[in-house]
Amino acid sequence: MRLKRKKGILYLIADCEGGLAPIEEALRAGVDYLQLREKNISSAEYLRRARAVKGLCEAYRTPLIINDRADIALLCGADGVHLGASDIPVDEARRLLGEGFIIGATAKTAAQAAQAQKKGADYLGSGAFFKTSTKSDAALMEPETYREILSSVTIPDLAIGGLTPENCGLPLSLGADGLAVSGGILRSGDIGGAVRAFRRLLEA
Protein backbone atom coordinates (compact mmCIF):
# COMPACT_ATOMS: atom_id res chain seq x y z
CA MET A 1 0.00 0.00 0.00
CA ARG A 2 2.27 2.79 -1.21
CA LEU A 3 1.32 6.16 0.24
CA LYS A 4 1.05 9.00 -2.23
CA ARG A 5 3.68 11.65 -1.68
CA LYS A 6 1.98 14.72 -0.30
CA LYS A 7 2.91 17.57 1.97
CA GLY A 8 1.47 18.37 5.35
CA ILE A 9 1.39 14.99 7.17
CA LEU A 10 1.18 15.21 10.98
CA TYR A 11 2.21 11.92 12.56
CA LEU A 12 1.98 11.49 16.33
CA ILE A 13 4.22 9.07 18.23
CA ALA A 14 2.77 8.13 21.62
CA ASP A 15 2.83 5.65 24.44
CA CYS A 16 0.27 4.90 27.12
CA GLU A 17 2.33 5.87 30.16
CA GLY A 18 0.10 8.89 30.73
CA GLY A 19 -3.09 6.95 30.01
CA LEU A 20 -5.38 7.23 27.02
CA ALA A 21 -6.72 10.74 27.66
CA PRO A 22 -3.73 12.62 26.15
CA ILE A 23 -3.82 10.38 23.08
CA GLU A 24 -7.53 10.98 22.62
CA GLU A 25 -7.02 14.74 22.97
CA ALA A 26 -4.47 14.67 20.15
CA LEU A 27 -6.72 12.52 17.99
CA ARG A 28 -9.63 14.88 18.56
CA ALA A 29 -7.47 17.85 17.54
CA GLY A 30 -6.63 16.14 14.26
CA VAL A 31 -3.44 14.15 13.64
CA ASP A 32 -3.15 12.12 10.42
CA TYR A 33 -1.50 9.00 11.84
CA LEU A 34 -0.77 7.68 15.30
CA GLN A 35 2.20 5.46 16.05
CA LEU A 36 2.15 3.51 19.31
CA ARG A 37 5.71 3.14 20.57
CA GLU A 38 6.06 1.22 23.82
CA LYS A 39 9.34 0.29 25.47
CA ASN A 40 10.26 -2.00 28.37
CA ILE A 41 6.89 -3.68 28.78
CA SER A 42 5.80 -7.27 28.22
CA SER A 43 4.38 -8.41 24.89
CA ALA A 44 1.08 -9.12 26.61
CA GLU A 45 0.88 -5.57 27.97
CA TYR A 46 1.92 -4.12 24.61
CA LEU A 47 -0.93 -6.00 22.95
CA ARG A 48 -3.42 -4.86 25.61
CA ARG A 49 -2.42 -1.22 25.13
CA ALA A 50 -2.41 -1.55 21.35
CA ARG A 51 -5.98 -2.85 21.35
CA ALA A 52 -7.12 0.02 23.57
CA VAL A 53 -5.45 2.60 21.32
CA LYS A 54 -6.85 0.88 18.22
CA GLY A 55 -10.36 1.44 19.60
CA LEU A 56 -9.63 5.16 19.98
CA CYS A 57 -8.12 5.40 16.51
CA GLU A 58 -11.18 3.75 14.99
CA ALA A 59 -13.43 6.26 16.74
CA TYR A 60 -11.47 9.15 15.19
CA ARG A 61 -10.81 7.38 11.87
CA THR A 62 -7.06 7.70 12.30
CA PRO A 63 -4.72 4.95 11.05
CA LEU A 64 -2.77 3.19 13.82
CA ILE A 65 0.88 2.27 13.27
CA ILE A 66 2.69 -0.03 15.72
CA ASN A 67 6.38 0.58 16.34
CA ASP A 68 8.77 -2.36 15.84
CA ARG A 69 6.33 -5.21 16.40
CA ALA A 70 4.70 -6.75 13.33
CA ASP A 71 3.11 -9.43 15.52
CA ILE A 72 1.42 -6.87 17.76
CA ALA A 73 0.28 -4.92 14.70
CA LEU A 74 -1.38 -8.02 13.27
CA LEU A 75 -3.00 -9.13 16.50
CA CYS A 76 -4.48 -5.73 17.41
CA GLY A 77 -5.76 -5.04 13.90
CA ALA A 78 -3.50 -2.02 13.34
CA ASP A 79 -3.17 -0.39 9.94
CA GLY A 80 0.60 -0.55 9.81
CA VAL A 81 4.00 -1.08 11.42
CA HIS A 82 7.12 1.07 11.61
CA LEU A 83 10.45 -0.75 11.39
CA GLY A 84 13.86 0.38 12.54
CA ALA A 85 17.26 -0.88 11.44
CA SER A 86 17.29 -3.69 14.02
CA ASP A 87 13.74 -4.90 13.30
CA ILE A 88 12.66 -7.46 10.70
CA PRO A 89 13.49 -6.38 7.12
CA VAL A 90 10.86 -4.43 5.21
CA ASP A 91 10.51 -7.06 2.48
CA GLU A 92 9.98 -9.83 5.07
CA ALA A 93 7.38 -7.70 6.83
CA ARG A 94 5.64 -7.11 3.50
CA ARG A 95 5.55 -10.85 2.86
CA LEU A 96 4.04 -11.43 6.30
CA LEU A 97 1.59 -8.53 6.40
CA GLY A 98 0.45 -8.25 2.79
CA GLU A 99 0.10 -5.41 0.32
CA GLY A 100 -2.71 -3.62 2.16
CA PHE A 101 -0.60 -2.97 5.26
CA ILE A 102 1.25 0.33 5.78
CA ILE A 103 4.97 -0.27 6.39
CA GLY A 104 7.25 2.54 7.46
CA ALA A 105 11.01 2.44 7.81
CA THR A 106 13.70 4.55 9.44
CA ALA A 107 16.23 6.01 7.00
CA LYS A 108 19.30 7.98 8.08
CA THR A 109 21.06 7.97 4.70
CA ALA A 110 20.02 8.18 1.06
CA ALA A 111 21.17 4.59 0.54
CA GLN A 112 18.97 3.35 3.38
CA ALA A 113 16.04 5.33 2.01
CA ALA A 114 16.37 3.95 -1.51
CA GLN A 115 16.75 0.41 -0.19
CA ALA A 116 13.69 0.71 2.04
CA GLN A 117 11.58 1.95 -0.86
CA LYS A 118 12.88 -0.84 -3.09
CA LYS A 119 11.92 -3.42 -0.45
CA GLY A 120 8.38 -2.09 -0.21
CA ALA A 121 8.25 0.66 2.42
CA ASP A 122 5.31 3.04 2.14
CA TYR A 123 6.94 5.95 3.96
CA LEU A 124 10.16 6.88 5.75
CA GLY A 125 11.08 8.59 9.01
CA SER A 126 14.35 10.51 9.12
CA GLY A 127 16.15 12.38 11.90
CA ALA A 128 16.89 13.34 14.53
CA PHE A 129 16.70 17.03 13.70
CA PHE A 130 17.04 18.13 17.32
CA LYS A 131 17.93 16.51 20.61
CA THR A 132 15.04 14.55 22.04
CA SER A 133 14.41 12.89 25.39
CA THR A 134 12.69 9.93 23.76
CA LYS A 135 15.91 8.96 21.93
CA SER A 136 18.74 10.75 23.70
CA ASP A 137 21.44 8.85 21.77
CA ALA A 138 20.10 9.71 18.30
CA ALA A 139 22.62 11.36 15.97
CA LEU A 140 21.51 14.67 14.53
CA MET A 141 20.53 14.83 10.86
CA GLU A 142 22.59 17.14 8.66
CA PRO A 143 20.52 19.29 6.27
CA GLU A 144 22.45 18.08 3.21
CA THR A 145 21.93 14.44 4.22
CA TYR A 146 18.20 15.07 4.47
CA ARG A 147 18.09 16.70 1.05
CA GLU A 148 19.85 13.62 -0.36
CA ILE A 149 17.33 11.32 1.30
CA LEU A 150 14.38 13.26 -0.12
CA SER A 151 15.82 13.23 -3.63
CA SER A 152 16.49 9.48 -3.51
CA VAL A 153 12.86 8.35 -3.04
CA THR A 154 9.33 9.02 -4.25
CA ILE A 155 7.52 7.93 -1.07
CA PRO A 156 6.79 10.40 1.77
CA ASP A 157 9.51 11.18 4.28
CA LEU A 158 8.63 12.46 7.74
CA ALA A 159 11.14 14.49 9.74
CA ILE A 160 11.53 13.41 13.36
CA GLY A 161 13.43 14.35 16.48
CA GLY A 162 12.70 17.03 19.06
CA LEU A 163 10.28 18.92 16.84
CA THR A 164 8.16 21.78 18.17
CA PRO A 165 6.10 24.47 16.44
CA GLU A 166 9.02 26.83 17.08
CA ASN A 167 11.74 24.76 15.36
CA CYS A 168 9.99 22.62 12.74
CA GLY A 169 10.58 25.24 10.07
CA LEU A 170 14.01 23.71 9.42
CA PRO A 171 12.89 20.31 8.09
CA LEU A 172 9.91 21.88 6.33
CA SER A 173 12.22 24.30 4.54
CA LEU A 174 14.30 21.33 3.36
CA GLY A 175 11.26 19.67 1.82
CA ALA A 176 9.91 17.30 4.48
CA ASP A 177 6.59 15.74 3.54
CA GLY A 178 5.47 15.87 7.14
CA LEU A 179 6.45 15.83 10.78
CA ALA A 180 6.62 12.96 13.26
CA VAL A 181 6.14 14.43 16.72
CA SER A 182 5.99 13.06 20.25
CA GLY A 183 6.87 15.37 23.15
CA GLY A 184 6.26 18.49 21.06
CA ILE A 185 2.57 17.59 21.29
CA LEU A 186 2.08 15.33 24.30
CA ARG A 187 4.36 17.28 26.66
CA SER A 188 3.46 20.73 25.38
CA GLY A 189 1.03 21.59 28.17
CA ASP A 190 -1.70 22.20 25.59
CA ILE A 191 -2.09 19.16 23.37
CA GLY A 192 -4.90 20.50 21.21
CA GLY A 193 -3.16 23.84 20.83
CA ALA A 194 0.10 22.17 19.80
CA VAL A 195 -1.66 20.05 17.19
CA ARG A 196 -3.35 23.12 15.74
CA ALA A 197 -0.05 25.04 15.74
CA PHE A 198 1.69 22.25 13.81
CA ARG A 199 -1.28 22.10 11.44
CA ARG A 200 -1.05 25.80 10.64
CA LEU A 201 2.67 25.49 9.86
CA LEU A 202 2.16 22.38 7.73
CA GLU A 203 -0.60 24.06 5.74
CA ALA A 204 1.26 27.37 5.26
pLDDT tens for residues 1-19?
Answer: 556 677 899 999 999 999 9
Predicted confidence (pLDDT) per residue in 67-112, tens digit: 999 999 999 999 999 999 999 999 999 999 999 999 999 999 999 9
Give the Å distances, CA to CA, from 36 to 24, 30, 87, 121, 144. Answer: 13, 16, 16, 18, 30
Residue 198 has pLDDT above 80, yes or no: yes
Binning pLDDT at 50, 70 and 90, where does residue 171 land? very high
Question: Residue 192: exposed, middle, or buried by beta-carbon count in 10 A (0-12, 13-18, 19+)?
Answer: middle
pLDDT at 192: 98
d(CA 53, CA 110) in angstroms, rounded, equals: 33
Average pLDDT over residues 111-126: 97
Average pLDDT over residues 124-149: 89
pLDDT at 136: 63
Any residues with CB less than 8 A from the CB of 155 and at least 6 apart, and which? 2, 3, 5, 117, 121, 122, 123, 124
Phi, psi for residue 107 in degrees, rounded to 5: -135, 120
Please state the pTM of the whole predicted model: 0.94
Query: At how many degrees (to 10) do helices 143-152 and 110-119 cross?
Result: 30
Question: Residue 21: exposed, middle, or buried by beta-carbon count in 10 A (0-12, 13-18, 19+)?
Answer: exposed
d(CA 45, CA 51) in angstroms, rounded, equals: 10
Q: Which CATH superfamily groups domain 9-203?
A: Aldolase class I (3.20.20.70)
Mean pLDDT (the chain) is: 95
The answer to whether 145 and 109 have CB atoms below 8 angstroms apart is yes
- The one-letter code for the residue type at 199 is R
The answer to whether 51 and 76 have CB atoms below 8 angstroms apart is yes
d(CA 18, CA 21) in angstroms, rounded, equals: 8
